């Protein structure tokens, strides 16, 4: 009789503890995604801060390239103001990447600019920042993968849907450095 009573009380308590553990695990993963997104955002802002300096250095040498310079500044403003989902921000970031690629292509046409110490420092800093953005992006996407997997697995998917744990979006952007050209043999 005592054993039956303990089982009747213990089983619901066990179920409640399991449900709480699943819920807390989902909260933890969601917060890790948010923290990882904050890291991505920090690195993107670092890039935004570099762009005006890069534009100014190029402007001094490439006076005939005003359109490219103005477009990069405009795209920086769009990307800086973007605060939507990772997918919408990725679209704005990819446009900025295309603009930066054009800016770097302009710089290639000016040998004096390519040799300028300030330009070389900015280019090195931009490459370092791009590496940091890609590392933060990979970390964020790994957290999103873990979170989304947990929200889709049984039994945590039941808790996730009941408690409105929505899937997170991956953040996919292109690097500024274009892929190496193919070598024809």
pLDDT one-digit tens code per residue, 81-136: 998 899 999 999 999 999 999 999 888 888 888 888 889 899 999 999 999 999 99
Residue 8 belongs to some domain of the structure: no
Residue 181 belongs to some domain of the structure: no
* pLDDT score for 179: 43
Residue 70 has pLDDT above 70, yes or no: yes
* pLDDT score for 64: 78
Residue 184 has pLDDT above 50, yes or no: no
Both tokens assigned to 139? 């970390």
Residue 40 has pLDDT above 70, yes or no: yes
* pLDDT score for 183: 42
Report the number of distinct structural domains present in the chain: 1
Rounded distance between C-alpha atoms, residue 71 and residue 35, angstroms = 32
> Helix 117-152 crosses helix 2-61 at what angle (to 10 degrees)?
160
126, 132, 135, 141: CA torsion to nearest 10: -90
175 near 78, Cβ under 8 Å?
no
Residue 54 CA to chain centroid, in angstroms?
A: 22
Residue 141 has pLDDT above 90, yes or no: yes
Parent domain of 116: 36-133
Residue 140 belongs to some domain of the structure: no
Residue 96 belongs to some domain of the structure: yes
Rounded distance between C-alpha atoms, residue 144 and residue 116, angstroms = 41
Residue 125 belongs to some domain of the structure: yes
* pLDDT score for 180: 41
Contacts of 165 (CB under 8 A, 6+ apart): 26, 30, 151, 159
pTM of the model: 0.86
Residue 151 has pLDDT above 90, yes or no: yes
* pLDDT score for 156: 96
26 — pLDDT class (breaks 50, 70, 90): very high
């Amino acid at each position: 009789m005592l054993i039956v009573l303990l089982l009747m009380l213990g089983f619901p308590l066990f179920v409640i503890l399991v449900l709480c553990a699943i819920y807390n695990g989902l909260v933890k993963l969601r917060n890790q995604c948010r923290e990882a997104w904050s890291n991505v955002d920090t690195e993107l802002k670092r890039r935004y801060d570099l762009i005006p300096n890069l534009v100014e250095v190029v402007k001094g040498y490439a006076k005939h390239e005003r359109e490219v310079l103005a477009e990069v500044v405009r795209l920086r403003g769009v990307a800086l103001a973007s605060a939507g989902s990772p997918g919408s921000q990725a679209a704005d970031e990819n446009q900025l990447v295309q603009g930066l690629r054009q800016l770097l292509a302009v710089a290639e046409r000016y040998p004096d600019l390519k040799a300028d110490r300030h330009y070389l420092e900015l280019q090195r800093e931009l490459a370092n920042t791009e590496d940091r953005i890609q590392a933060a992006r990979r970390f964020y996407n790994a957290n999103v993968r873990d979170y989304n997997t947990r929200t889709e697995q049984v039994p945590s998917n039941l808790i996730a849907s009941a408690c409105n744990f929505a899937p997170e979006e991956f953040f996919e952007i292109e690097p500024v450095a274009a892929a190496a050209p193919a070598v024809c043999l």
